[in-house]
Structure 1
Amino acid sequence: MPVARRTDAVLLLVALVWGSSYLAAKTATAALPVLAVLFARYAISALACGALVASRHRTRRWSRDEVRTGSVLGVTQATVLVLETYGVAHTSAANAGLIISLTIVLTPLMDRTGGRSLPPTFFLAACLCVLAVGLLTSSTGLHAPRLGDVLMLAAAVVRAGHVALVGRLTTDRPMDPLHLTTAQTVVGSALFLPAAVAHLSDLTRSSATTWTQLIYLALFCSVFAFLAQTWAVQRTSASRASLLLGTEPIWAVAIGISLGGERLTVWSALGAVLMIAGTHWGQTIERTHRTTAQTVQEYTECRMTTPTGA
């Protein structure tokens, strides 16, 4: 298989895995308390990352920046997963995957590095996403949004802040992705351990099905997805990577309906279409605007440094 096709396949697999994580988390939280699920997910991930670090032929020493940055990002990532996991426990997996995709349009609003202003069309795309959320949260008629939908909205906001923070803390700083991931999983395990102690007996008595879901969330949705994404992004363009990873909400809806037995009403189906269209439109606008701004900046710097004739 050519390298380009293999890279595309890996990115689509990451999007599929992330899309399936909502149904897996929803099913796991039906059998165990949310905090027990989160601790198990983090602890298994930490053990797997530790094993990968130890298995390296040449052990690269940890830097202070990696420990410090990984610890900070571990706290923000844990906050995202708390909101996501509680949210998906109180709404459908399809809704959860669609609402969290708001991160795509929220992140550029929070990431102000470089002082770049966004074009007006980007805000039109964001408004389309807001309309989509309204349709998703009131799909059976006008009523107050469900708790799970509100929590997923909060998760999208915090996740966007987390993504912006990742860019701010790691730009122009050489850091090992595996070290960062390991630090985040260790911090998450430490954060959830005190709250999960009371539920450890429930965890040990869990069925094989529940443990399979926990291991899937940890090894595939966390460790594999992050490392595979990093590997693939290094072998393709950022535009193509974001396009393929942007299919995550589509997989979330497909898996929620086909495997989870969930149903979409006419209004929620319209909301799903508008959400996918709005996030894709916003993503395209932001990517084009960023590329154009970088080209203009490079051209300006080149003109400033090029000596003029006498």
Structure 2
Amino acid sequence: MSRVRSTDAVLLLVAVVWGSSYLAAKSATSALPVLLVLFARYGISAVACVALVAARRRTRRCTRAELRVGSVLGLTQAAVLVLETYGVAHTSAANAGLLISLTIVLTPLLDRASGSAGLPARYFAATGLCLLAVGLLVSGSGFHAPRSGDLLILAAALVRAAHVALVGRLTARHPVRPLHVTAVQTVVGAVLFAVPVAGTLTTLGGVDAGGWARLFYLALFCGLFAFLAQTWAVQRSSASRVSLLLGTEPVWAVAVGIGLGGEHLTVLTALGAALMVAGTYWGQAVERAHRTAGVPEVPRRAEVPAGARPPAPGPLLDPDEQQRALASAAVHDGVHREVGLPYP
């Protein structure tokens, strides 16, 4: 029981950290240009990831497959973060956290491997509920054209869904280690964003302690910590439980935005928030039941009594089930919310 509780606590902490990332990113971009924030996040993450890989004496070298996969995913991941960070700079943190959760219902529609053509009607009903929620969320205090930030977050959700589907395909074809792929991705992102900000790097010298704290929080806690924690936790829990707990991220985004960011919800946006959470949970449950119909979920490894002979070593969860569970729980990000990707 204590093991289950500790695992659940870690997963819930990851969801809280991811939910808080939107307010942290919004605060960071209010003091620094968006691309400079992204370069700092990627640079800090890259140093930490490369250090962790280097610390593994026997497995420090990346394979060709990991370099190829990490490079491709580094480009698509960077595209997601550009849209997401520019978006959160021009909308509320609560709205960003809710709108990005559309990834959950968009991913199966873009992932051919999930058999999206055969998804039941209930799934499309859940998608429709989410679209209604979008309309309410972007309306604010009255119906009007959506803000530029809302549109950018919606675009980020679409690109992230495509990114998650790509992760599933590439990691299914090539045996890769998540930490090594993440290291390649962060290095690619750091190099990519270093080019446009080369002339403004001296600006980082004027960042105060609070600004650096936000950047390190985004890079290390919302990125590296969340990735390592979810990888550890998914091996000790079931896919259903992982999806349920990580799926609370938009709820925490709203809570942090209101509690710490001084944001507020109107009646319309509060209704939209409720419908978005309900729609994504409903769609996630329908899609997972459809995908795993007739296929029993692989249970956790049973505890071995003292003195008993342990069973032959094997995976705690089917690797594909791990990837699918975390992809369906994505809100992304950080990190990115599939195996090996520190979203947001």
TM-score range, shorter chain: over 0.9
The 5-angstrom pairing of residues 5-154 of structure 1 reads: 5-113=5-113, 115=115, 117-154=118-155
| 1:195 match | 196
Q: 1:45–1:223: 8 Å Cα contact kept in structure 2?
A: yes
Q: Which amino acid aligns with 1:59?
A: T
Paired residue for 1:277? Answer: 278
The AA in structure 2 aligned to 1:245 is: L
Write the deviation string for residues 32-87 of structure 1: whole angstroms up to 9, x where unpaired. Answer: 00000000000000000011112224334321110000000000000000000000
Matches of 1:199 and 1:30 in 2, distance apart? 16
Identical-pair percentage: 69
Question: Aligned with 2:271: secondary structure?
Answer: helix
Q: Deviations over 1:270-301 (max 9, x none)?
A: 00000000000000101111110646xxxxxx
Return the alpha-carbon distance in structure 2 between the equivalents of residues 294 and 152 of structure 1: 35
Residue segments in structure 2 that go unaligned for 5+ positions in a row: 297-344
* 2:153 corresponds to 1:160: no
Other structure's SS at 2:292 match: helix
Query: Aligned with 1:292: secondary structure?
Result: coil
- Match of 2:197, SS? helix
Which residue in the other structure is 2:335 paired with?
none
Shift of 1:233: 1.2
Alpha-carbon distance between aligned partners in 2 of 1:236 and 1:68, rounded to the nearest angstrom: 30
Which amino acid counterpart does residue 289 of structure 2 have in structure 1? T
Aligned CA distance change for structure 1 residues 112 and 246 (closer, same or farther; 3 Å): same
The whole-number CA distance in structure 2 between the counterparts of 1:17 and 1:200 is 27
Contact preservation (8 Å) 2:54, 2:60 = no
Counterpart AA for 1:65: A
Shift of 1:173: 3.3
Partners of 1:197 and 1:144 in 2: how far apart? 36
SS at match of 1:171: helix
Higher helix share: 1
* Structure 1 counterpart of 2:103, one-letter code: T
* Preserved contact between residue 74 and residue 187 of structure 1 (Cα < 8 Å): yes
Q: Displacement of 1:175 after TM fit? A: 1.3
SS in 1 for 2:293: helix
Residue matched to 2:262: 261
Distance 1:211 1:141, change over 3 A: same
If asked which structure has higher relative contact order (CA below 8 Å, sep 6+), I would say 1
Q: In structure 1, the residue corresponding to 2:68 is in which secondary structure?
A: helix
Give the secondary-structure state (helix, strand or coil) at the position aligned to 1:175: coil
Question: Which SS does the other structure have where 1:127 is aligned?
Answer: helix
Q: How far apart are 1:174 and its partner, in Å?
A: 2.4
Paired residues of 2:45 and 2:223 also in contact (CA < 8 A): yes
Mapped contact 2:108–2:114 kept (Cα < 8 A): no
Which residue identity lines up with residue 62 of structure 1 in the other structure?
A: C
Q: What is the match of residue 298 of structure 1?
A: none
What does 1:172-251 align with in structure 2 at a 5 Å threshold? Answer: 173-251=174-252
Deviation, 1:6, is: 1.5
89-98 vs 169-178, greater mean Cα deviation: 169-178
Partners of 1:177 and 1:227 within 8 A in 2: no
Q: Structure 2 counterpart of 1:47, which letter? A: V
Secondary structure at the aligned position of 1:122 is classed as helix
The alpha carbon displacement at 1:197 in A equals 1.4
Please list every run of 5 or more consecutive structure 1 residues that lacks an aligned counterpart in the other structure: 296-310
> 1:302 maps to which residue?
none
Distance (whole Å) between structure 2 residues aligned to residue 114 and residue 271 of structure 1? 28
Question: Residue 126 of structure 1 aligns to which amino acid in structure 2?
Answer: T
TM superposition score normalised by structure 2:
0.84
- Give the distance between the partners of 1:199 and 1:36, measured in 2 at CA: 8
Whether contact under 8 Å (2:19, 2:97) holds in the other structure is yes
RMSD over aligned Cα, in angstroms? 1.3
Give, in angstroms, the shift of residue 153 of structure 1.
0.1
Question: Does the 8 Å contact 2:114/2:291 carry over to 1?
Answer: no
Aligned pair count reads 295
For residues 84-135 of structure 1, the C-alpha deviation after alignment (integer angstroms, 9 at most, x for no partner) is 0000000000000000000010011111115352100000000000000000
1:224 partner letter: F
Q: What is the distance in 2 between the residues matched to 1:205 and 1:167?
A: 41
User: Could you tell me how far apart the structure 1 residues matched to 2:143 and 2:54 are?
Assistant: 54
